[in-house]
Every structure is written in C-alpha cells, then in structure tokens.
Amino acid sequence: MFTRPENMRMYWKELMHQCVEIGIGSLGIVIIISFFMGAVSAVQTSYQLVSPLIPLTTIAQIVRDTVILEFAPTVVCIVLAGVVGSKIASELGNMRVSEQIDALEIMGINTKSYLIMPKIAACLITIPMLVVLSMVLGIVGGRLAGAATKILSTDTYDMGLILNFVPYNVFFALVKAYTFSFIISSIPSYYGYYVKGGALEIGRSSTKSVVVSCVMILFADYVLAALLLNK
Amino acid sequence: MIFYNPLKYLESKKNSAGWRIWGMIEFKNIRKSFGEKVVLDDVSHVMETGKANLIIGQSGSGKTVLQKCLVGLFEPDEGEIIYDGMSFTDMNVDERKELRQQIGMLFQGSALFDSMTVEQNIMFPLDMFTKNNFRDKLKRVNEVLARVNLEGVNKKYPAELSGGMKKRVGIARAIVLNPKFLFCDEPNSGLDPQTSMVIDKLILDITREFNMTTVINTHDMNSVMEMGENIIYLFEGKKEWTGNKKDIIFSKNERLNNFIFASEFLQDAKDMRMLEAKGKISDDRDMDELLKGDKLD
Ligand SMILES: Nc1ncnc2c1ncn2[C@@H]1O[C@H](COP(=O)(O)OP(=O)(O)OP(=O)(O)O)[C@@H](O)[C@H]1O
Ligand SMILES: [Mg+2]
C-alpha cells in the first residue's frame, strides 16, 4: 500500500500555496506604493520643469520612463525584499529551529528542494507580474495626480504617454524583475534554512537577509543598467 | 544487486505470513564531538526488535545526539551504524531516503508543522508517499488519531494544542506509515505523571503490536520502570551501564543508582524491593498495618 515517493503533486500544491502567499500577500502594498510613486513623480517633475519651452507632454513621458525603468522594478522589489524576504527567512528559520526541517528530513523528503524550490519558483512567477501591475498603476497614479493638481489634463498626459515610447524599456524592466525575484527568494532562503540557535537568531538572520538582498538588488540594478542600457 | 536497495532488501525479508522479521539496529564505536567537546565517546549497542529500547542519562549526557546520529541527522565522526545488516553509514542519499520511509520519529519538541492542521500534519507523509485517495488517507488519519486517544481535534492547529496533545499528534504522525523503526526523544518530558504513563503505554503497545524497533530517550524514572526492556545508560557520552528494568534494581553501579534513585523516596523503594526479593518482607502484611493506622486518625 505504501509505495514509492509520488510527490510531484505535493510540490505543485506547495508552489500554488507559495504563489498565493507571496503574490496575493504583497498585492496591497504594491498597489499602494506604485500608485503614490507615480503620483509624486508627476507632481515633482512638473515642479522641476520650469521652462515654458518644454511641452507638458514631457511630464507624462518622464513619469512613464522613470516608473517603467526604475520605480516599478527596483523600488517595488526593494520593498518586496523586506516583505517577502523576511517572511521566507523567518518561516524557514522557524522550521529549522523547531526541528520541522529535521522532521521532514526523517520522513525521507529532500528538504532543500521541497522547501526552497517552490519559494523561488513562486517568486519568479508572481513578482514580475506585480512589477507589471506596478508599472500600470504608477502611470495611472501620475495621470490622476496631474489632473487633480491641474498640472496637465488627462488628454495631454495620454498624448505624452505614447510619444517616443521604447518597448525595449519594458523588456529591460522585466529582466530586472526576474533577476531581483531570484535575489529576493534565494538569499532569504539560504539565511533561513541554515539558521542555528533560537528565536533571536531567526530575527537576526531575517534582518540580515533583507539587508543583503537589498544591497544585492541595487548592485544587480547597476550591473544590468551598465550591461543593457549602455549604447 | 538487491543489497543496494534497502526497501527491496527489507521487503525480501518478509516471511510468508507477511510478518517482517527484521529490525535490528546495531551501532559500533560511535564517536561524536562538537568542536573540542566530545559528546559521544565510543558507544556501542544493539537495539532489539519488538522492544522498547531506552537510552537514559542525565540532561546533556548525549541522548539526543546519539539518537540523531542513529537516524543520520548528525554524522558521527567515527563508528558504524547497521540497520538489519546494512551499513547505514555507507548508504548514499537515495538509499537513506528509502530507509527513512521506514522510520518514524517523535522529536523532543514535537516538531509539528505549524502552518498545517492536525489532520494535514498526520496526512502529510501519506500525501508524500502514497497514491491513496483522500478518503482512504482520512480514514488512516482518524485511525491513528484514535490510536493515540485524540479524536475530534482534526481541524485544530498545533498552537491550539496542549503539550501532551502535541506529543500525541507527533506520535500519530510518526506511526501513520507503519514504520519499522520508531524513535522517540523524551516522549513525556514536561507532562504530568498520568499523561506520561498514558503515552508510555501507548508507545509500548504500538511497539508490541507492530513488532517495531523502538528507541526512546528518557530521564523519567516511571518510564524506565514501565518499559525498560533494553536500557543503555549514558554518562557523559560514555556507555556506563546496560540491562533491563529488573537489573536496575539490583545494580551496584553507583552512578546509575544515583541517577535512577535520585530521591530518598525512590532509594527507600529500591531498598524495599531488595528486601522483598531476598524474602525479608514476606507479603503485604506491613501495608495492612499501615492502612489501619491511617484509619485511626
Ligand atoms: N548542535 C550542537 N552543537 C554543539 N553542541 C551540541 C549540539 N547539540 C548538542 N550539543 C552538546 O552535546 C551535549 C549533549 O546534548 P544532548 O542534546 O544530546 O543532551 P541530552 O542527553 O539529550 O539532554 P536532555 O535530556 O536535556 O535532552 C550537550 O553538552 C550539548 O551542549
Ligand atoms: Mg535531549
């Protein structure tokens, strides 16, 4: 009756569970920050562009490009490094310290792959989606803020949006999103999985993993920009 | 090449009645140290099938480390561990994984998955390793829950259970796949004497019923006296004494005596037993007199 391991289904179940936890779990914060980032960048750009020679559509262009190039992928991922990263590190750390990982190991389960792979995969699936959502919401936020503060009408804004649009930027943003997703999931997994000690160490390693992931994100951001945007 | 596949090998040792006649765990000259500190020093013993094999010793004497070495959660620095003639030490990852499907373990802190309900916890090994449908699995879960006298907690989370209930869920999860080897690390630490007794009885019953090889870490005297059939006493990482519960009473080993009969009360109890065995106290006449005295008050 009790035969060979047939755990693909369990891996799938775990993956779906993690997608919900990570994707849906951080949806709220992503919506809020993206919207306000877009709004603020619209207002600030108009404040900085004092010359009457520059057309108003430029504001929309600048909002669009900063949101797509930097705000949506990098800022959102740094926030997610805090939200998702600390969650992953403390979840695994808790499992390690309370011997749950040992319990899985004793059952004959490959804990590294069962616990870590679905988390990394879930991040790779959901975080780029969140980044795309963030791009849209950032741009919408700028549009609404522009209209609300009477800086530029929504028509002008829409016109600006399609002016000189470079699809490559979206591709670049997605490359960043995938890279950062991997950083956000793998570094905290490592720190969490190898925790030694007790509750205090869980907290410490989760903080450390967030700091390290943030630094890695910024570093990767620079490297990618140098590699992919250098004409 | 049957020897390279532990499960097949173990399966081949079933006799015609389906009884599995194997299950010995032998370990030889186990040595383990953490840094400078030597935790296990040259420990050898044989754990027998169908019996509760006890590892006893003071707190910090290396019981948990020994048990974790036996199941491979720690790698011993030296020595060999043999499961039924096969060297566990020499097995590769896959062979160990297969053998581990025959192992159930109750951890000192229960180690329940706290994101899952009791039912999901116990069903987890079934989900992982069987192809049964949900109904069969649920039936099995309820079966083992009934076995540990815990019904109607299926939907509770581990955080909502008491320590003793967690231990029992831990046992249920450990035995759900009918393991051949059961390891229990202090199954009754932190429990009241009565609940401890229930859990001890339970483990003993299951061991007998399924003819398992059960290894129990304990420093609880009641358990030792209740189920000590094959006891190994560790003192500062060394095997100091071995025997069964009857041997304990007549043992002349000073350290063991101090450990087991730590209180004056227990020391008296031991002396009584000694006298009784030597025929110096005839029967329960003395008890009757004592009781009479009680009633006069
Ligand atoms: N992971 C570890 N790293 C370093 N030292 C350890 C580790 N685990 C255990 N030790 C040391 O090994 C010794 C034996 O510990 P062990 O947990 O086996 O004791 P025990 O007999 O199970 O005690 P208790 O009855 O309190 O559970 C202790 O001195 C402990 O400090
Ligand atoms: Mg212990």
User: Which CATH number fits the domain that encloses residue B137?
Assistant: 3.40.50.300
Residue of A nearest to B73 (CA): A102
- Considering Cα of A159, then A160, then A161, then A164, what sign does the dihedral take? positive
The confidence score (pLDDT) of residue A9 equals 86
Between CA A73 and CA A81 the distance in angstroms is 12
Beta-bridge partners for A222: none
Measure B19 CA to ligand 2 centroid, in angstroms. 33
In 3D space, the residue among B71, B137, B155 whose CA is nearest the CA of residue B107 turns out to be B71
Kindly list the distances between the CA atom of residue B111 and the CA atoms of A51, A140, A218, B108, B170, in Å, as whole numbers in the listed order: 67, 48, 38, 8, 7
B273 belongs to a structural domain: no
Kindly list the distances between the CA atom of residue B293 and the CA atoms of A97, B175, B276, B284, B297, in Å, as whole numbers in the listed order: 55, 49, 22, 15, 7
B275 belongs to a structural domain: no
Q: Do B113 and A2 touch (CB under 8 A)?
A: no
Q: What is chain B's pLDDT, residue by residue, as a tens digit (297 residues)? A: 445 555 555 555 554 444 444 678 999 999 999 999 999 999 999 998 888 999 998 888 999 999 999 999 999 999 999 988 888 888 888 888 888 888 999 998 889 999 999 999 999 999 988 888 899 999 999 999 998 888 889 999 999 998 888 988 999 999 999 898 999 998 887 778 887 888 888 889 889 888 889 999 988 888 888 888 899 999 988 898 898 888 888 888 888 888 888 778 777 887 887 787 777 665 555 555 555 555 444
Task: Looking at the CA of residue B237, tell me the nearest atom of ligand 1.
Answer: 14
Give chain B positions within 8 Å (CB) of A9. 127
Facing residue for B109 by CB, picked from A10, A98, A109 = A98
Cβ(B175)–Cβ(B104) under 8 Å?
yes
Q: For chain B, how far is it from start to end, CA to CA, in angstroms? A: 76
Facing residue for A108 by CB, picked from B101, B111, B132 = B101
List all residues 6 or more positions away from A120 whose beta carbon is below 8 Å from its beta carbon: A182, A185, A186, A189
Q: Indicate the range of A57-61, A209-213, B251-255 predicted with least confidence.
A: B251-255
More confident residue, B260 or A134: A134
Facing residue for A108 by CB, picked from B100, B108, B127 = B100
Measure A197 CA to ligand 1 centroid, in angstroms. 13
Pocket test for ligand 1, best of B33, B39, B68, B185 (most atoms within 8 A of CB): B39
Between CA B228 and CA B218 the distance in angstroms is 10
B287 belongs to a structural domain: no
Buried b (16+ CB within 10 A) or exposed e, A211-226: ebbbebbeebbeebee
B252 belongs to a structural domain: no
Within 6 Å (CB) of ligand 1, which residues are found?
A: B 34, 39, 57, 59-65, 108, 219
- Considering Cα of A203, then A206, then A207, then A208, what sign does the dihedral take? positive
In 3D space, the residue among B103, B89, B20, B182 whose CA is nearest the CA of residue A108 turns out to be B103
The confidence score (pLDDT) of residue A65 equals 93
B216 belongs to a structural domain: yes
In the block, tokens 């019996």 appear at B51
Angle among Cα A144, A145, A150 to the nearest 5 degrees reads 100
B297 belongs to a structural domain: no
The confidence score (pLDDT) of residue B282 equals 55
Q: Do B177 and A2 touch (CB under 8 A)?
A: yes
Facing residue for A98 by CB, picked from B105, B111, B125 = B111
The confidence score (pLDDT) of residue A1 equals 34
Residue of A nearest to B136 (CA): A1
Cβ(B115)–Cβ(B80) under 8 Å?
no
Report the number of distinct structural domains present in chain B: 1
Give chain B positions within 8 Å (CB) of A98. 109, 111, 114
Task: Looking at the CA of residue B63, tell me the nearest atom of ligand 1.
Answer: 21
Measure A59 CA to ligand 2 centroid, in angstroms. 66
Task: Looking at the CA of residue B62, tell me the nearest atom of ligand 1.
Answer: 18
Q: What is the pTM of this model?
A: 0.85
Between CA B186 and CA B55 the distance in angstroms is 10
Chain B interface mutation, best of A21, A91, A99, highest count of B Cβ atoms under 10 Å: A99
In the block, tokens 């992953």 appear at A88
- Residue identifier of the C-alpha nearest atom 25 of ligand 1: B59
φ/ψ (deg, to 5) at B19:
-75, 135
Q: Do A6 and B131 touch (CB under 8 A)?
A: yes
B157 belongs to a structural domain: yes
- Calculate mean pLDDT across residues A178-207: 95
Structure tokens at B89: 């030490």
Is the CB of A52 inside 8 Å of chain B's CB atoms?
no
Structure tokens at B173: 């999860």
φ/ψ (deg, to 5) at B139:
-60, -45
Burial class of B1 by CB neighbour count within 10 A (0 to 12, 13 to 18, 19+): exposed
Task: Looking at the CA of residue B108, tell me the nearest atom of ligand 1.
Answer: 27
In the block, tokens 């160990």 appear at B96
Q: Do B128 and A10 touch (CB under 8 A)?
A: yes
Residue of B nearest to A106 (CA): B100
Whole domain around residue B157: which residue ranges?
6-244
